[in-house]
């Protein structure tokens, strides 16, 4: 095979004859170097706003991604120790690792932009369409050196990706804490709002009074759950509420759950978002089976409407 190489400022080209084997090896090396350069773009975006559903479903996959990085580094070290007779296998392994690394890049970008994540990109074990001719001539020391340099570059790139995944994981942990400590969701399975926050006609006195929470009608014995992580600061009877649980979520926010038929937690318990804390009932000042739910900010009742949504279930 013949190539003409023209140097800058030269009037005529220099003819070089390359063997088939040398050409194939050089092409593979060039592909690897170009692929490495293309994959070097970072993907961490500052202060991403991650939706609740992305935090809940995608954060666990960060650990899997880091595990894959470790696996790829192991492949690189094993590949580095192979002999010249396995050069074709080495090149295939290197290209495979780089392709998978590019998939991690793509997923990292999507996660940090809080976009939809394509599950197909997580199928790291899918075989890649890679092939090549059989070796025709011995591999030169220069090609081996180039290949080892490519391995060093890829190893360094994997280290950088691992650090970026650590940052991304930290971001998801922060986001998850915000989700877990924010009393958003729906405290019972099913049910409907039977009385809203604000002024209403009192069911006992028939006078216009202020209702400090939201009543959710539900059958007696239906479990109700904590709306966010927190510490139980009251579990027992309280005037008007009947059996009531109050949870402190920090940052001046507390939630109350009244009229329970049974309480499943005690004062001082730490509870997780979604944990069962009692059963719906009709205790206290109540006309029927329902859950009375309140949200307080710095000791003052606020409208729970902004926190109640059936779409926020975990």
Write the DSSP string, the chain: -EEEE--TT-SS-EEEE--HHHHHHHHHHHHHHHHHHHTT-----SS----HHHHHHHTHHHHHHHHHHHHHHHHHHHHHT--GGGHHHHHHHHHHHHHHHHHHHHHHHHHHTT-PPPGGGG-TTSPP----PPP-SPPPHHHHHHHHHHHHHHHHHHHHHHHHHHHHHHHHHHHHHHHHHS--B-SBSS-EEEE-SEEEE-TTT-SEEEE-SEEEE--TT-EEE-SSSEEEEEEEEETTTEEEEEEEEETTEEEEEEEESEE---TT-EE-TT-EEEE-B--SS-SSSEEEEEEEETTEEE-GGGGB-GGG--
- pLDDT computed for residue 150 by the predictor: 75
- pLDDT computed for residue 245 by the predictor: 98
| Residues, the chain | 314
Residues of the chain with pLDDT under 50: 1-49, 114-119, 121-132, 136, 311-314
CA distance 33 to 99: 13
- pLDDT computed for residue 261 by the predictor: 97
Cα separation values, 313 from 262, 275, 288, Å: 23, 12, 26
- pLDDT computed for residue 111 by the predictor: 61
Residue closest to 218 by CA, chosen among 292, 275, 277: 292
- pLDDT computed for residue 68 by the predictor: 76
- pLDDT computed for residue 115 by the predictor: 37
User: Could you tell me the maximum CA-CA distance found in the chain, to the nearest angstrom?
Assistant: 106
CA distance 39 to 17: 32
Domains of the chain in start order, with CATH, are 16-181 (no CATH), 192-312 (2.70.70.10)
- pLDDT computed for residue 11 by the predictor: 47
């Amino acid at each position: 095979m013949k190539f003409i190489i023209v140097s800058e400022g030269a009037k005529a080209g220099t003819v070089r004859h390359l063997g088939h084997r040398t050409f194939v090896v050089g092409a593979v090396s060039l592909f690897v170097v170009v692929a490495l350069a293309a994959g070097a773009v970072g993907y961490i975006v500052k202060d991403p706003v991650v939706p609740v559903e992305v935090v809940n479903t995608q954060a666990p996959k960060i650990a899997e991604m880091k595990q894959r990085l470790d696996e790829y580094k192991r492949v690189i070290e094993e590949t580095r120790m192979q002999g010249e007779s396995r050069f074709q296998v080495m090149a295939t392994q290197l290209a495979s690792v780089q392709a998978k690394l590019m998939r991690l890049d793509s997923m990292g970008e999507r996660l940090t932009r809080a976009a939809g994540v394509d599950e197909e990109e997580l199928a790291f074990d899918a075989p890649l369409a890679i092939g090549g001719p059989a070796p025709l001539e011995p591999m030169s020391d220069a090609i081996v050196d180039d290949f080892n340099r490519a391995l060093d570059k890829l190893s360094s790139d994997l280290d950088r990706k691992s650090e970026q995944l650590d940052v991304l994981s930290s971001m998801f942990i922060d986001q998850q804490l915000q989700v877990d400590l924010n009393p958003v969701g729906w405290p019972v399975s099913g049910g409907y709002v039977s009385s809203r926050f604000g002024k209403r006609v009192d069911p006992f006195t028939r006078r216009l009074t202020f209702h400090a929470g939201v009543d959710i009608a539900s059958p007696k014995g239906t479990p109700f759950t904590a709306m966010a992580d927190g510490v139980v600061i009251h579990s027992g009877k309280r005037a008007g509420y009947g059996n009531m649980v109050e949870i402190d979520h920090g940052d001046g926010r507390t939630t109350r759950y009244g009229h329970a038929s049974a309480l499943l937690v005690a004062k001082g318990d730490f509870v997780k978002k979604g944990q069962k804390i009692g059963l719906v009932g009709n205790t206290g000042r109540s006309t029927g089976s329902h859950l009375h739910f309140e949200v307080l900010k710095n000791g003052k009742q606020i409208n729970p409407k902004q926190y109640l949504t059936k779409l926020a279930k975990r």
